[in-house]
Chains A and B, each alone.
Chain A
Amino acid sequence: MNFNATFIGQIVVFAIFVWFCAKFVWPPIMDAMQARQKKIAEGLDSADRAAKDLELAQHDVAKKLQEAKQEAAAILEQANKRAAQLVDEAKAEARVEGERIVAAAQSEVDKEVNAAREELRSRISELTLAGAERILGSEVDAKKHSELLDKLAAEL
């Protein structure tokens, strides 16, 4: 247990150890650790970003869905309105058509009635004459009584 040059030997040896450690041992290990640290930090960061993106997308989706629903509702409403309008139009048209047909039939009937009346009117004198002849048993001079008869016919 003497004090001797082992002391100096250890100083030199230890200095070499420290130099080797600082040059070849510490830097690569530390670099690897720091690189991993950075990688993990980046990973966490991108995960965060992805979560945020997802949230945004979900928000977007909800908004789009809402819009689509509103649009669909609007379209449906419009269609319903259009349908109602079409039905109304058809109804109105049908009514007009019906009225027109009824009016035509009416005028036809009127015409027929008028024609019959006209015919009746034109033949009333003849019929009256024939009736009178039968009653009187003689011939009635049509020319003599034509004025009277015409008056009668006009009254009809």
Chain B
Amino acid sequence: MASEAGSYANAGEYISHHLTNLTYGKLEAGATMCDGSTLETTQWVLGGCSAEFNQMGFMAFHVDSMIWSILLGVIFLFTFWRVGKKATEGVPTGMQNFVETIVEFIDSQVRDTFHGRNPWIAPIALTVFVWVFLSNLMDIIPVDLIPYTLELLGVKYQKIVPSTDPNITLGTAVFVFFLMIYYSFKVKGFGFIKELSFTPFNHWVFVPFNLFLELVGLIAKPFSLGLRLFGNLYAAEMIFILIALMFGAGIFFAVFGGVLQMAWAIFHIMVIPLQAFIFMVLTIVYLSQAHEDH
């Protein structure tokens, strides 16, 4: 959007604005406010500029990421819940067909990879897949459409793609990690510790070494899971922002940018389900490993 890019001092500011989350967090007393004044008491505030956001510590929420994350999850669950409530064993039509295709796809993936008996795995995989997919899909919406509309309504910052927020992707991955730990202990009990201590070298001398190795491997799982999704979507979002910058640089660049945006969006259509699929498959694989007794 040409007019919009013009309202920023330079391209750098435009980009950093588009990469800033709207944050509600705790500001310590003495923090510098947007208008230059100093905060007298420690309090929770909805930040108004990046200076305030940066002074917030861990005790802060990305309001936009949370709202979009919850909204997408609710859309997914409500749609599927309504279909499930009206689901008949007769000939499925329309939405039921669509939903059943996805459910069947997830179910077959789980059956292929997960050989234990756990009724929770498939719903977990379904939630992961559809939620990540919808979250990634938000990337297709033109970068300025919703943020700019909200800016006109007074909301200064808005990032609408939850999966470009590392907090969100790592949160999802760590949730999967918690499940892994839970099922490892539930299925193997103490054997899980034993498994960590005595692989790959099955001798008590190597226990500290084994533990170090296995724990690094274990902790690397949620990190790789969350950062892979974040990295892919963040990079894609960044390219969309860069392309959007071209719209403010004259008619030639605007047309060229339009072509590029379409090309990147088409390419991105492949990335969206692919990343959702990878996240889901790895979730199943990790949970499957948690169930396997060696």
Co-complex (A, B)? yes
A28 (CB) vs chain B CBs: closest residue = B84
Interface residue? B58 (CB, 8 A): yes
B122 with A10: CB separation less than 8 A = no
Chain B binding surface, main DSSP class: helix
The complex places the Cα of A153 from the Cα of B62 at a distance, in Å, of: 171
Query: With A4-B23, A21-B77, A28-B84 known to touch, is A10 a contact of B123 (CB < 8 Å)?
Result: no
A22 touches which of B61, B100, B123 (Cβ 8 Å): B123
Chain A binding surface, main DSSP class: helix
A14 (CB) vs chain B CBs: closest residue = B175
Interface residue? B165 (CB, 8 A): yes
B21 with A29: CB separation less than 8 A = no
Q: Which residues of A contact B25 (CB under 8 A)?
A: 4-5
Chain B, 155-175, CB within 8 A of any chain A CB = 165-168, 170-172, 174-175
B80 with A1: CB separation less than 8 A = no
Interface residue? A8 (CB, 8 A): yes
Mask of A31-47 contacts with B, CB within 8 angstroms, 1/0: 11101100100000000
Count of chain B residues near A, Cβ 8 A: 54
Interface residue? B81 (CB, 8 A): yes
Interface residue? B73 (CB, 8 A): yes
Q: Which of B56, B124, B167 has the most CB of A within 10 A?
A: B167
Q: Which residues of B contact A32 (CB under 8 A)?
A: 84, 87-89, 100
B87 with A6: CB separation less than 8 A = no
Interface residue? B210 (CB, 8 A): no
A21 touches which of B87, B123, B172 (Cβ 8 Å): B123
B170 (CB) vs chain A CBs: closest residue = A7
Q: How far is the CB of B60 from chain A (nearest CB, A)?
A: 4
Question: Hey, which bits of chain A sit against chain B, CB under 8 A?
Answer: 1-11, 13-15, 17-18, 20-22, 24-33, 35-36, 39
Give 7 nearest A-B pairs by CB, closest first.
A10-B171, A32-B87, A22-B123, A28-B84, A6-B167, A35-B89, A26-B123
Ordered by A's residue number, 6 sampled pairs between the chains whose C-beta atoms are within 8 Å are: A1-B166, A9-B171, A11-B171, A17-B77, A21-B127, A22-B124
